[in-house]
Structure 1
Amino acid sequence: MTSMQEQTISRLLLIVLLLISAPLSAKNIHYVSDELTIPMRTGATNSHKILKFLKSGQAVEILEESEDKTRARIVLIDDESKTGWVESSLLMPLPSAREQLKRLKSKNQALKASAGSLKNELVEANTRNAALLNEQRQLEKKNQDLKNTLARLRASSAEPIRIADENEQLKKQLSKERAKNESLVQENAFLSDQDIKRWFMIGALVSIGSLILGLLITRINWKKKESWGGGF
């Protein structure tokens, strides 16, 4: 960071500090003058007992002033249980230059630390981003590999599906042929039964005819014998 940038930051911090101190001024906040250590007494005269010495830059709130405006009763901002009297001329409405510079340096150090932290976070973010991009590329490659595998599986599964369809058609045809065959078997059985009955009737008729023929032949022979016997 250049000196010009540091000066700019210091000025901005001073403005911010002044803006922050504005609400405090509503409470009549004052500060011990620069390069001074002043006594805080129990009363408004130098004859009163000294309670403590206030360092330069000490923030105090003025509660009241003496009639001649030379003394002010104050309370410490950082310890409201401590009140006392000090000379009004030794107080000023703004922090001392040394105190302001100290605060600005502290703010500047905090900003530098924050900038360093932000740089580290940026480096980490870039690293994470690069890792995510690499992971995304790997996922895209895996996705493409899966698509290729799926395409191969679909291509290889088409033939079994076709064969399965053909088998199903053959099963249906076989079922129809079996039905036809069963029908033919039943019809053949019926015809065979009819043939058996027909041949049985024919055999019976032949037997009856043979019997009748035998009787006729016997009768004829008997008559011939009788006729031959009558001739003698």
Structure 2
Amino acid sequence: MKHLYSALMLLIVLVAPRAMAENYISDELFTYMHSGPGTQYRIIGSVDAGNKITVLSRDRDAGYTQVVDSRGRKGWVKSDYVTTQPGLKERLPALEAELKRVKSALASAQDDAKAQQKGLVESLAKRNEQISKLEAHSSDLNKKLIEAQSEIRALRAKIDTQKDDLLMRWFTYGGMVAGGGLLFGLVLPHLIPRKKRRRDGWA
């Protein structure tokens, strides 16, 4: 009966860890494993930081947890050193994989940013070229407009001068006609012979 009980307990110890959640020794150098929940109990070994353990029970008053380590040893360690977070050794591969993924995503984002920047630079260069052409065309139009305005002013001045000349000619012609008429009026009586009066008083 005693052997049967011992075999049953051994089976429970071997099977129970697989059904329980995984725990770890926190990232200290190592922690001692005692035969009971306290430093007054015999040290039966040590557990390195980051090693997987299986929690069997906890003594909250003593602050110790009964565990089975990866080598199958059963003992008690301080509860402060037991954590549900994997140690650095366990997390390092996952962290390296995550770092690699982030670097790859960053490189891809940088490539996309460079491509977009290149496209923006090319687009900006084309727009600057178009603006330069428009500015040159606008400058030519302004130059032609100034020349046309100067030509219009010159033509208007010429027209005004011609009007003045024409008006002066009309005044001159009018004066000449008036003077000629006056002169003709003065000369005409002398050109027409007068009839001599008869001495008897009859015309």
TM-score range (shorter-chain normalised) is 0.5 to 0.7
Question: Mind listing any 5+ residue stretches in structure 1 that lack a counterpart?
Answer: 1-8, 18-29, 36-57, 59-75, 79-97
Q: Which residue in 2 is equivalent to 1:164? A: 138
| Match in the other structure for 2:183 | 209
Q: Which residue of 2 aligns with 1:130?
A: 104
CA RMSD of aligned residues (A): 3.9
TM-score, structure 2 as length reference:
0.56
SS in 1 for 2:30: helix
- Give a deviation string over 1:144-198, Cα, whole Å, max 9, x none: 1222222233334433322211111111111211222222222222222211111
Equivalent residue in structure 2 for 1:226, among 175, 184, 196? 196
* Corresponding residue for residue 178 of structure 1: 152
Shift of 1:208: 0.9
| 1:155 corresponds to | 129
Cα deviation, residue 114, structure 1: 4.0
Paired AA for residue 186 in structure 1: D
Rounded Cα–Cα distance in structure 2 between residues aligned with 1:116 and 1:176 = 89
Which residue pairs with 2:16 in the alignment? Answer: none
1:161 & 1:11 partners in 2: Cα distance? Answer: 73
Name the aligned partner's letter for residue 29 of structure 2: L
Match of residue 30 from structure 2: 13
Change (3 A) 1:131 1:108: same
Shift of the 175–137 alpha-carbon distance from structure 1 to 2, 3 Å rule, reads same
**Higher relative helix content:** 1
> Identity, % of aligned pairs?
9
| Residue type of the alignment partner of 1:213 | V
- How many residue pairs match? The answer is 146
Separation in structure 2 between the aligned mates of residue 10 and residue 137 of structure 1, nearest angstrom: 39
Amino acid paired to 2:159: V
Equivalent residue, structure 1, for 2:116: 142
Which of these two proteins has the greater Rg computed from alpha carbons? 1
- The alpha-carbon distance between structure 1 residues 102 and 10, as it changes in their structure 2 partners (threshold 3 A), is farther
